[in-house]
Structure 1
Amino acid sequence: MLRGKTGISAALVCMAMLAVAGCTQTSGGGTPSPSSGAPATGNTASSARPSTAGGANTAPAITNPLDVSKFMADPCLSITSAQAAKLTISSQGQRLNVDIGEACDWKYGTNLEFDVGVSYIIPEGGNGLQNLYNQKAAGQYDQGYFEPTTIDGYPAVYEEGSDNRPKGQCSLSVGINEQTFITVLNNGSGNVCGGTEKIASAVVETIKRG
């Protein structure tokens, strides 16, 4: 479903503009915990996220970079039908046209009331996940969260400029190569970040297969 500047599109604009100015994201809906087999919800766009100058060069190295050109051209290829069935989300994703690029959205829930979205982001500086570390050094996450982790051997960060996890929103970015990272932005409830991790892991698995 295409949406306007509220809901999904508003969240995408906030994510893209994080390095320029603070942006508070709102959320709603629900997200099953990983044990339920359903993911967290959210949407992001394939677009350049502005780069913030400065910051220590602290992003972990990516020892096995992946080619994501196929998936940047069509983000809906990021989750296979078999993965979708296992994750209990809709089998076919729907591309979203928003101001800052392209996104793919999958629905789930008893009434298909929730969403999960995936994006591929190349910052203007072409520095991949390092751009988020630069943003952290510049104080962009002082009112939010920035928690490094790994997804299937790839460096990742749970990150948002405002901490909306109590409201059911969680964002996870994963470095795929030195220029690109993927982001899963979720809106829901329950173990929202646990669901985010499951989706991110499925996407990395798909990219590895090519």
Structure 2
Amino acid sequence: MLTPQQASDLAGLSSPEADTADKIGPRCEWDQPGGGLFTISFITVGGGGLSGTYQSHAELPMPYFEPVDVNGYPGVFADQVDRRSYGACGLSVGVRDDVLLKVFSGFERDSPHYGDPCPVVKKAAEMAITTMEGGA
């Protein structure tokens, strides 16, 4: 979902593990230096796209829920637990009515992105969309 150069430039990510057989949708996962985790996935089963994320928030409000535009696609930073100050950030982007592009960071304390991970997560989503649209 990211080229090797994009992943390296973004956050020093290398050696992704792809899982195209995951039952909820394909996913790429990178182990970060120091033990952190970074994932980009498509949710194609059971979530109802971005409207499902909004519905979940309406039923059980999430501690952080911030709508954002990602390359012209609607998205939202959201999670059941606000761990942004601890290197974690989740972003869901509605790339189709029934498909979500999800990006998640779990940066370790020694990462330069630990205290502010969401800009890196958004940049990864932008890069992934550009790559998939054939613009990279």
Class of the TM-score when normalised by the shorter of the 2 chains: 0.7 to 0.9
| Equivalent residue letter for 1:166 | S
The 1:123/1:134 distance shift into structure 2, 3 A limit, reads farther
Within the alignment, does 1:138 sit opposite 2:62 as a pair? no
What 5-or-longer segments of structure 1 have no aligned partner?
Answer: 1-77
| Alpha-carbon offset, residue 103 of structure 1 | 2.9
| Equivalent residue letter for 1:149 | V
| Alpha-carbon offset, residue 159 of structure 1 | 0.4
Tell me what 1:7 maps to.
none
CA deviations on 1:89-135 (whole Å, 9 max, x unpaired) are: 21x311358786653212344x5x3331111012426x310000111
| Equivalent residue letter for 2:51 | Q
SS at match of 2:123: helix
TM-score, length-scaled by structure 1: 0.54
The 1:79/1:186 distance shift into structure 2, 3 A limit, reads same
The 1:203/1:101 distance shift into structure 2, 3 A limit, reads closer
Question: Aligned partners of 1:169 and 1:205: how far apart in 2?
Answer: 23
Percent identical residues: 31
CA deviations on 1:49-107 (whole Å, 9 max, x unpaired) are: xxxxxxxxxxxxxxxxxxxxxxxxxxxxx0112322432321x3113587866532123
Q: Given that residues 174 and 181 in structure 1 are in contact (C-alpha distance below 8 angstroms), is that contact kept between their aligned partners in structure 2?
A: yes
SS at match of 2:81: coil
* 1:107 pairs with one of 19, 25, 31: 31
* Regions of 4+ moved over 4 Å: 96-102
| Alpha-carbon offset, residue 157 of structure 1 | 0.1
SS at match of 1:173: strand
What 5-or-longer segments of structure 2 have no aligned partner?
Answer: 108-113
| Equivalent residue letter for 2:40 | V
State the structure with more CA Rg: 1
Tell me what 1:208 maps to.
133
RMSD: 2.3
CA deviations on 1:128-156 (whole Å, 9 max, x unpaired) are: 10000111111241xx2111001111110
Tell me what 1:118 maps to.
40
Q: Given that residues 172 and 185 in structure 1 are in contact (C-alpha distance below 8 angstroms), is that contact kept between their aligned partners in structure 2?
A: yes
Q: Given that residues 123 and 131 in structure 1 are in contact (C-alpha distance below 8 angstroms), is that contact kept between their aligned partners in structure 2?
A: no
